[in-house]
Amino acid sequence: MEERASDKIMRRYNVGYPILVQISKLDKDELRTLLTSIFTNESRILQLLNLDFDVTMIVKNYRVDEISLSYYDSIIIDWMGIYLKLEHGSKNLLVEFNEHFKI
């Protein structure tokens, strides 16, 4: 029997949300270190991480919803994964959180 879409989303949420919570506890330098270790070969991301970016955390109903690192371009982290959003572009998923993702 095929898995329902709602079950698939809940399964992904149950894996991804605890990762997002762990990441939300990191300070700016720890966040920079984590992302640098993930994106060792992504020059666009590494350039952004070397800037004095702002970190914004969105909390809804007392639960972390999104973390954004911004300096014109943005790295956005939510329960699904890590995205790059260019200043004048769309949001692209770079890393999807799964059971094998480690902090």
3-state secondary structure the chain: CCCCHHHHHHHHHHHHHHHHHHHHCCCHHHHHHHHHHHCCCCHHHHHHHCCCCEEEEEEECCEEEEEEEEECEEEEEECCEEEEECCCCCEEEEEECCCCCCC
Q: Are 55 and 1 in contact (CB under 8 A)?
A: no
pLDDT value for 52: 95
Q: Compute the chain's Rg from CA coordinates.
A: 14
Task: Please determine, for residue 1, whether its predicted confidence score (pLDDT) is greater than 80.
Answer: no
pLDDT value for 2: 78
pLDDT in tens, 18-76: 999 999 999 999 999 999 999 999 999 999 999 999 999 999 999 999 999 999 999 99
Taking Cα atoms as reference points, which of 54, 62, 67 lies closest to residue 23?
67
Q: How confident is the model at residue 102 (pLDDT cuts 50, 70, 90)?
A: confident
